[in-house]
Structure 1
Amino acid sequence: MVVSSDESVLIVGAGCFGISTAYHLLQRGFTDVTVLDRSETLPASDAASTDINKVVRTSYSDIFYAQLARDAIQEWKKKDEWGDIYRECGFLALDSTDERLYVSKAYVNDVALGLRTVKFSSGDAMRTVFPDSVKTGPAFEGASGYLNLDSGWVFATRGVEMMMSRVLALGGKVMSGKAVTGLIRQDGRTSGVTLADGSSISASLVVIASGSWTASTFRDIDLDDKKFVSTGHAIATIQLTQEEAAWYRDVPVVFDFRTGFYIFPPTDDNIVKLAFHGPGVVHYPARDTDNPVSTPRTVSSHRDDGQSITLSSLRRLRSSLRGIYPAIAEKPFATTRLCWYTESSDSDWVIGYYPSDPGLLLATSGSGHAYKFLPVIGRIVSDAIEGKLEPAIAQKFAVDRNQTEDRFDPSRGILRPVDLITEPLCTPEDLLPYSGQDIGGG
């Protein structure tokens, strides 16, 4: 049994999954769609989707995501809907020469999709991608990879704001300051949610799209810790001068899949963002329980230092930056942040009805690669709500699927997240440049 378009749908979370789902449901004729979010101000300042920018790439080793990303990019390019928030600067993927690895498989998929690609067999060849004004570092030595010209990045917060405006224009409701504390269940079926202020809201269907707060908020249902682990990932920004930004204005997004380090071109405000994807950190605020659950540590819970990343991550970011763009590697970091998201150990999303509960559907476990799909990810969730997903895709994202691959595999050099309590946090002094050397380009 699936919900019909005249029944009420209550979505918990106004981030990428939640707001896109609301939009697509309203587009399909659903008439009673409400989105709740814990944050008083939307988009929530500490949500993963609230960020300067996000990578938009088709370069996936999994053909499903590659095709879906291609569809998303076709939507991002519609300037009458999205303005100029999508910037197609290209995506440069670095890896080793092993044909079995992620980048090699992604290249095959991009070529099969007819995308514009340039393959490189050496780091020296890869350096030709960059303008003469840009000095590249030792990370390119011994590397291979390719440039995908049909990819780039998007202004992330603005995208959520624009999608939220569309939801409101279509008659949907978006309610801020509504922290959900649990589910109302009757005879094994979810019929609504309880709120922190003691009130409750009923609905025919509740969609959990609460991102990194999923496992810690909904402890009353059995969420497999292989599919619902909240992890934080280090981000930093550097403020360039107008002259410095001009050197890097025409570079692609660079992603080193050997280390998880990636870096963007400057924004219009001359800000460069750099980050790591995986393995991140976990945070257990309640350690005296039988079942501790990783919970985001952000400005919402730790106002004074909620933006801090670990000192070891900060040092790794600077070291990795030296490997890509040594000319700016000693500049001070302007800001840092832990970007929290829920991930599954196989990196696939969780989208589907909770087993034996037709009143509850999950749309979460973005695993650090959901935002680029903002224009279309709600289509997948809406298909799941209406029971229209192809069987293979439904199984791929099923809540109760068996994990066939563990992304956190030490034998492949992919370690599990470290416990945040064991890691010292960076201080404002740690953000300062390492030396006063000249940072000129060339």
Structure 2
Amino acid sequence: MSEKKLRRLPLAAAALVACVSAQAEYQSPDGKFRLSGFGTIGAVRNGTDDAEFNYPGQLGDATKRASLNPDSKIAVQGTYKLLHTVSATTQVLTKYDAEGQYIPNIEWAFAKWQATPALSFRAGRMGAPYFMVSDFRDVGYANTMARPNIDVYGQVPVSQFQGADASYQMNIGSSTVVTTLWAGDSKAHFSAAATSPPLEVLLQGQIGLNIQAELSDGWSLRLGHLQGKLTLSSPAITQLTGFANLLATGATQYAGSAAPDAANGATAAASFAQVDPLLNVSGVNASFSGVGLTYDQDAWVISGEFTKRKTDSFASDTTAWYGSVGYRVGKFTPYFGLSKIKSDRRSSNPVLSTNLVGSPDINAQSTVLHSLVDNVLGFQKMDQKTTTLGVRWDAMSNLAIKAQLDRITKPADSNGMFFVPDPASTTAQNFLNSKRAVNVMTLSVDFVF
């Protein structure tokens, strides 16, 4: 499929909305095969041109010019029952990605064995269970709001893992508890700036435990924790660390010269040498923990999550939470939400400004290196808080229309969760260094078929 056709995909998906009410999940006559799908057509308008609004990891796009890219997507899912207790599921999802394209991707491809009514095993590619709504985070129709809360769900850019899990269901009094142990590897691309290639994110050797409890009277509780090994890489980081190592070699040679301030060369070399271990993230410890609570009964729908991310890398440790409440009035559900993400730890720029009297070239290159490292470390400056107000209209049994306003406030020295195309530009620096409040408006149509 050509790039031109791929960029028109949201409009092609929009055509499905006209006939979705006449469609339903397909099931073969023998009951062994089921085919279904879902999609979203969403227009987003950002209140500023200084930074772009997107779902973290995408190539950006939404400014004061409304864009279909952040939320629009379409997927088809099929399940085939091989035996009475064995089935296979595949889901193909197409949405805007880190390269700024719409490329169909196999999101799920796994086999499931229902060993007993209470015990099941799965193996293959599955939704990564980091959050309360991980299994249906892309299914806009299944979520009250226009999208899963970005302050919380934007912390982890991967949405799938390849591996296996085992789930056991038990009844405790009036509650149903499902415990899932899972293990595997994840890979994703994250676009941090339009001026450099996407960052490759690898989470390997992950081991996680999730506990989901369906309590009485409409309450549901979810606890989750995982740990694994994180690797971050990109051609831009490789070039940057190579530049730092060359500069460290030059400063070391200066330290061995007869220059009167030769000792300063050793200090400069030491600071340049710290860039490689800081930015060369390979197999470091990473963990993610979360607790979520929902209430859905009668007219009320309430949800909230609290999460913590930790890594032994320049990707900052973060704490995030959100809470939302909605009230159904006929086919309409007005809702309100609050959320926040903050950095618990940030890595500082190790490159010191130099003033080597005998080497103006090293001095100039040191200034450039300091700026380049700052641009990379801007990845960890994501503090912001969000107030959300919206309404959902269930226009049909399988189609919902949502209008949402997010007021996002970020402090100085933070880009929030916004996408900054060129971190080195004056506009980007002004946005980073000033406190801002930005309104983001969304109008979306979610459907299932």
TM-score (norm 1): 0.21
Which structure is higher in RCO with an 8 Å CA cutoff and minimum separation 6?
Answer: 1
| Greater share of residues in strand | 2
Structure number with bigger Rg: 2
